[in-house]
Each structure stands twice: as structure tokens, then as C-alpha cells.
Amino acid sequence: MSSTYIEAIRRALGDALAEDPRVFLYGQDIAGTFGGAFKATKGLAERFPGRVLNSPISEDGQAAVGIGAALAGCRPVIEFQFADFASVAFNQMVNHAATHWWRTGVPVPATFRLPAGGTPGGGPFHCQMVEGWLTSHPGLIVVAPATVGDAYHMLRDAIACDDPVAYLEHKHLYNHLRIDTDPSRAERLPLGKAAVRRAGRDCTVVSWSGMVHECLKAAEPLAEQGIEIEVIDLRCLRPLDTATVLASVERTGRLLVATESWPFGGVAAELCAWISEHGFSHLDAPPRRLSAQDTPVPFHPDLFRAHHPDAARIAAAVVETVEF
């Protein structure tokens, strides 16, 4: 049974609906034949009548309904058409969902699905990686699956979690990433655990979501030069599995964090700061970030490619780090 990334998400939603009557889906145009902007819910409304519901075009309202339903004992899955528009629901997610357990002792088991990441021609309102907005706030778990298996298992785990979860699914991976096996049988790591996707001795390269695959592409030409990188997929961005990263840096002595998000104040900056503070004695070179350009995401495909890191830029940054 083969599966694409988007099919794994659809499978996870269907399995959660089938197994737990408290689960329901709520989002813009997700019911009926349309099945959402990216078809993640296609066919689910027919299978589960009354539990796949269309919402108004109001991310703030969607999040509020989800929080209220979670407090009433449901396990809502809220779909935003694009992660960028989570900014409209920011107050609900970080000031209400993320804080409610700490204020009252009552959990908010809501999952917010955020189609994130860049595709050429998407422009500044439909291509952002928004984890930097969300990871600064205690109480909100933020995950970003990079594999088909993780797309399935991490969504199942998010729905089962008693904390609110922002689930960042990368749009480019939807139909470009496929495995030839059942995603539910893929390796299942705990929600907050990073994965070592490739072992190496010369430099630790950390990433998440779609950029993991660019790091793995960079590993091949680097190996031909005699440089073996260790590629770590964070998977979960809040909380961070700093122990796995630190253990790798202890072996390699070097750290590069690659992300398609912006350089200022993001996960890459936090991870470099943490390793500098807690693993300084193991470093043979300064920790380095490779990020998107510090501008809004451009629309033109050529400008988009210049804006985002790729395998060639990752490989060049690794060489500079190793030769420091």
C-alpha cells in the first residue's frame, strides 16, 4: 500500500475519526466534494456525516470554536487553508489555547493543521514557515513532519495529545513525497523526539519539514568530497529535542541549522544559541544558520529560488563550517 504525504494525512484523519467519536474536523470548504484547498479531507464527510464541518472564512472564529469544543470534551482538528493565515487566529492559539491549562488545570486538546512552506509562485501570503511565531509561547506544541510516516503518526499523536498542537504540514511534500508501504506501519517515534536521518562524523546538519530533504540531497556531493554529515530531523519544534542534537555535536564538533524560515528570532537561532550555551566545549567551529533571505517571500519563481536555501547552498555552508 503506497502513500503520498497528503494521503497519509487523510488516512490519519480518517483513522482518528473512526476510532474516537470525540474527533471532528472543522475548516473552510473541507466538507462535500471539494475536500479542502489541498484535498486533505476528500471523501471524509461522506464517511463520517456530521463530523466534517465547513467553517466561515474566519481563522479567529475557527480557532475559537475548536477551543470551545475541546473544553467541552471533543478533540477538534482545525484546518487553516494556509499557515500564513494562522496570524488571524494568533490570539486564540497563544493567549487562550496555550495558556488555558496553566490558568485553570483544564486541558485544551485541539489540533491546528497549518499547510506551510514555500512553493514557487505562492508569494508572500501563501508560502511562509510560521514556526517562529508559534514556538515562543509555552503551552503550545509545534510539530513539522518531514516524512510520509511522520505525517501519519504525528497527526495521530497530535489529535491524541491533551495539549494544543500546531501541526505544520509542508505543501511541497503533499504530492512530491511518496513511500511504497503503509504509512501506519512506518517507524513511530515519540512526539518530542528528533530523528537521525543520516549518520555522519564531520558536521551535524539540523533541519525539519521540507528542508530535511535538501539536507539529504546535499549529503551526497559532500560525501564525494570526503565530508560525512549527520542529518537530524527535529520533527518537533516545541519542545526541542536538544539532547539528540547535543549528542551529535559532541561527535562531530560542528553545527549547521538549515531552514526556509527567516533568520531573525526563529528555531534556528534558538538552537544555535542553546548549543553555544550548553555545548560550547565540543565545538570546533561557530554554530551556523542557513535561512531564507530576510525579506517577504517573493512571487516570481526565480526570485523564490534565490530566496530559499537549497542543497547546493547547504553543501557550501557545510564546507565553510568544516574548513573553519
* Catalytic residue IDs: 59, 126
The residues, ordered by sequence, that sit 6+ positions from 223 with a Cβ below 8 Å of its Cβ are none
Is-contact 174 200, C-beta < 8 A? no
C-alpha cell at 11: 488516512
Q: How far is Cα 138 from Cα 115, in angstroms, rounded to an integer? A: 22
Closest CA to 290 of 196, 214, 195, 176: 214
Grid cell at residue 47: 464517511
In single-letter form, the type of residue at position 156 comes to: R
In this structure, the strands spanning 141-143 and 236-238 are antiparallel
Tell me the three cell numbers of residue 38.
Answer: 489541498
CB under 8 Å, gap of 24 or more: what pairs does 65-70 form? 65/26, 66/26, 66/97, 66/110, 66/112, 67/92, 67/96, 67/97, 67/100, 67/108, 67/110, 67/164, 69/24, 69/26, 69/110, 70/97, 70/107, 70/108, 70/109, 70/110, 70/164
- AA letter at 49: P
CB 5 within 8 Å of CB 171: no
Annotate 93-111 with b (16+ C-beta within 10 A) or e (fewer). bbebbbbbbeeeeeebbbb
- Judge contact between 110 and 164, C-beta under 8 A: yes
Amino acid code (one letter) for 102: W
Cis previous bond, 298, omega within 30: no
